[in-house]
Chains A and B, each alone.
Chain A
Amino acid sequence: DIQMTQSPSTLSASVGDRVTITCRASESINNWLAWYQQKPGKAPRLLIYKASSLESGVPSRFSGSGSGTEFTLTVSSLQPDDFAAYYCQQYYGYPWTFGQGTNVEIK
């Protein structure tokens, strides 16, 4: 299986901060990577696909980059609604696998 490793596990930030989350794959996955946001008690929500394509309806302050084995999710100016958990997921090979998640909390 392709292992996905996210860092950091927890990130403390303030409204207006620029935050970056990193996701590393155990082997090259080209750009077959998605990012999800999850709030407590809710299902994950697709934010980014193909490493850098913004899902319809997702605010433009979210962006993704990377290819191969290293990827980043950036929120340019953190808003109150953005405090949540974020997960990366590869869909290069079966079984699809997820990172362990990054909790973005209020500083």
Chain B
Amino acid sequence: QVQLQESGPGLVKPSGTLSLTCTVSGGSISDYSWWSWVRQTPGKGLEWIGEIYHGGRTNYNPSLGSRVTISIDQSRTQFSLKLTSVTAADTAVYYCARVRGSYLLDSWGPGRPVTVSS
């Protein structure tokens, strides 16, 4: 049974970079095709951030423009999210998730709350 766990700073300064890592246990990133990041705010609800294929190809939400980068660690047990030039609007709970069948978010991490504030 695969398990996912987000980790990273819970507080980021405005204009800084938000960096989160998702650790996959009970399986390898290569076991499934795609891995995703989703965030949730009280105001905008659930927002899909993007996804990465185990081979490295990515798809991102255009609303985040060029600020977002998702990558896979060489260990093949972690994948990461970087969001640059953050503002208070990026304050959210960030979830990593496994994608089954190319589009189903069927396993999620517990979520990592991140606050953008000076």
* Contact A42 B45, beta carbon cutoff 8 Å: no
* Contact B103 A46, beta carbon cutoff 8 Å: no
Give the chain B neighbours of A96 by CB distance below 8 A: 48, 103
* Contact A95 B103, beta carbon cutoff 8 Å: no
* Contact A94 B104, beta carbon cutoff 8 Å: no
B46 interfacial by beta-carbon distance below 8 Å: yes
Size of A's binding interface in residues, CB under 8 A:
22
* Contact B110 A97, beta carbon cutoff 8 Å: no
Q: How large is the interface on B (under 10, 10 to 19, 20 to 34, 35 or more residues)?
A: 10 to 19
Render A71-107 as a binary contact track against B, CB cut-off 8 A, 1 for contact.
0000000000000000101010011111111000000
CB distance from B2 to the nearest CB of A (A): 13
* Contact B48 A44, beta carbon cutoff 8 Å: no
* Contact B108 A91, beta carbon cutoff 8 Å: no
User: How distant is the Cα of A91 from the Cα of B103 in the complex, in angstroms?
Assistant: 6
* Contact A98 B48, beta carbon cutoff 8 Å: yes
Residue positions of B touching A, CB distance < 8 A: 45-48, 59-63, 95, 97, 103-106, 108-111
